[in-house]
């Protein structure tokens, strides 16, 4: 983690300090602004490798969480085997996931462990943990009153683009359907109110 000096200008792309004199920084290849030298190098490298530029909505000034997330040093993440070993030692349930969250938060300043509450068709829900190899999804089927989600580490998988699209679609469908239901209920409650208001 870095500490910010309030007098120092901030790179809009990564959020780190830039040089006081704007022209001593890099000029973005894609946006009409200055960015820090490290981001200038990253933009050039992406162009050279024919990779798309970092989307504007993932820049620090738009989304500090995403920017912090993109700057994770992979070497400081746990590996797949470390996570599985950690769960074996600390318990294959939610409290151990919270310990991993806390450990990551100390290291990176943000908590990058997510809880996916919806069924993937095979399991009730899952946790998604960034690891050195990618993003590991650890499912659960049961929720206990003492240990909360009881994990199934033997069913852990690495997320690929296809999986992410599947979960995104499922989440969207679920949210759309629930919003429809709540709109319907709101409308019924409002109708009831107007009836009582006008006897």
Nearest distance in Å: CB 11, Zn ion:
3
Residue 131 gets the label, from left (phi > 0), alpha (psi -120 to 50) or beta, of beta
Q: Which of 28, 34, 36, 104 binds Zn ion (CB under 5 A)?
A: 36
CB atoms within 10 A of CB 110: 15
Asked if residue 14 binds Zn ion (CB under 5 A), the reply is yes
DSSP 112: -
DSSP 39-89: HHHHHHHHHHTTPPPPPGGGSTTT-HHHHHHHT--GGGSPPHHHHHHHHHH
CB closer to Zn ion, 12 vs 139 = 12
Task: Name the residue among 154, 131, 129 with its Cα closest to residue 141.
Answer: 154
CB closer to Zn ion, 66 vs 159 = 66
Nearest distance in Å: CB 60, Zn ion:
8
Listed ranges 9-17, 87-95, 141-149, 173-181: which one lies at the site for Zn ion (CB under 5 A): 9-17
- Please list, in sequence order, all residues whose beta carbon lies within 8 angstroms of the beta carbon of residue 14, skipping any fewer than 6 positions away: 35, 36, 38, 39, 59, 60, 67, 71
Listed ranges 8-16, 102-110, 128-136, 148-156: which one lies at the site for Zn ion (CB under 5 A): 8-16
Q: Which of 26, 34, 39, 83 binds Zn ion (CB under 5 A)?
A: 39
CB closer to Zn ion, 14 vs 136 = 14
CB atoms within 10 A of CB 74: 11
Listed ranges 5-13, 75-83, 104-112, 156-164: which one lies at the site for Zn ion (CB under 5 A): 5-13
Asked if residue 11 binds Zn ion (CB under 5 A), the reply is yes
Tell me if 86 sits within 8 A of 100, measured CB to CB.
Answer: yes
CB closer to Zn ion, 26 vs 100 = 26
CB closer to Zn ion, 35 vs 77 = 35
Binding site for Zn ion (CB under 5 A): 11, 13-14, 36, 39
């Amino acid at each position: 983690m870095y500490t910010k000096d309030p007098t120092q200008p901030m790179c809009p792309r990564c959020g780190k300090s830039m040089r006081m004199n704007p022209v001593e920084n890099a000029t973005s290849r894609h946006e009409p602004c200055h960015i820090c030298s490290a981001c200038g190098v990253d933009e050039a490298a992406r162009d050279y490798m024919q990779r798309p530029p970092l989307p504007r909505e993932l820049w620090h000034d738009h989304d500090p969480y995403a920017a912090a997330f993109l700057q994770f040093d992979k070497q400081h993440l746990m590996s797949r085997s470390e996570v599985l070993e950690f769960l074996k030692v600390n318990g294959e349930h939610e409290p151990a996931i919270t310990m991993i969250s806390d450990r990551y938060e100390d290291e990176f300043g943000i908590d990058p462990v997510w809880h996916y509450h919806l069924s993937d068709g095979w399991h009730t829900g899952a946790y998604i943990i960034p690891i050195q190899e990618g993003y590991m999804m650890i499912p659960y089927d049961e929720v206990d009153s003492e240990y909360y989600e009881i994990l199934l580490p033997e069913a852990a998988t690495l997320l690929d683009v296809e999986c992410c699209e599947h979960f995104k679609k499922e989440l969207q469908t679920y949210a759309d359907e629930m919003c429809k239901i709540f709109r319907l209920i709101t409308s019924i409650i409002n109708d009831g109110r107007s009836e009582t208001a006008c006897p």
